[in-house]
Structure 1
Amino acid sequence: MSRDAREWVWEHSSSRGAARLIMLSLADRVTDEQCVCWASLSSLVKRTGASKSTVQQALDRLLDSGELNELVDLTGPQRSTVYHLPIAATAVAQAVNDQETDSDEALVPEAEAHQPLRISALQRYGIRPARYRNPRRRTGHRQVREPVPRTGNRYIAVPETGTGPYRSPVHRTVVNRR
């Protein structure tokens, strides 16, 4: 099934650049016709050769476009993030249905295309329900922390530069002795 998912990404995905490379990396890990896969952020950084921030931004773009869903109630091997490629899953289900019936007019009904995930089928790949959910985590998006604005000197006892009587060489009383 990984082959079908990769072909869908190559031929039909609207993602570009790092986002497409991440989609290909995820499609390479698809296990069955449900198009569910798992990957940690560090493994995506290693496989794609992109920086961590680039991978995070690309994942956010893919999540916003709808080509990728993050399944927050499931966890993968070694607590990795579980993703679902919903559009690819529909295309793969259509391809499987076409192969089974060998007919050009066989379409996947809407109810069959959007069936809930079979978690029992995913457990043999190490994907299982998460034990707990972090309540601060937003669903489907990575949390971006805003930087704290800098306000003056963080050390209270340090004077501003240039203040004080001993800053200029004229006021020094050091004698050069040999």
Structure 2
Amino acid sequence: MQTSVASNLLHHLADDSAEIGHASVDDKAWLEELPLPLELKRTLQWHWPTESTQIGPIVFEPVSGIRSYPWTPALLRHQQIPIGFGPNGDAFVCDFATDECNVGFVTHEEYDGASNSRPFYQPTFRTLESYLHLVDMERYVPCDYYDARDFAEFLEAESNHSPFFRHKKA
């Protein structure tokens, strides 16, 4: 994750009424105690929406909302932190177990909010910056767990059957 890229894209994409800035002192202290990668931690502490802010189909939550979300403790135990929600209520989470902190969806229809979230997680974007960049470019972005799962299956089939993606054997 690159804090500067995420910050610049968040500022660029947030509507004029949204404020991107510092979390409260209490929320910064809470984040400081979490085992998050430093770039993710600093992005959430210093360059994050201070109120619910829609960017593309995702509503990003302020740190206070992340902190108070009932699933947060269970997600954190599995190295995920909720950063927003899709239109249907699926949690949009950052997976900090991955080197690049990929982001994706945890389905609200099947996950109970207490157990291991990983079986209910669909990785969707390589990074938060990848999501923001696609929104900025007005490209298609999945908006929930099932859209993300179906799109990943489509892309896999496309890469396996398209002459543009076939690997030539030597």
TM-score (norm 2): 0.24
Q: Which structure carries more strand by proportion?
A: 2
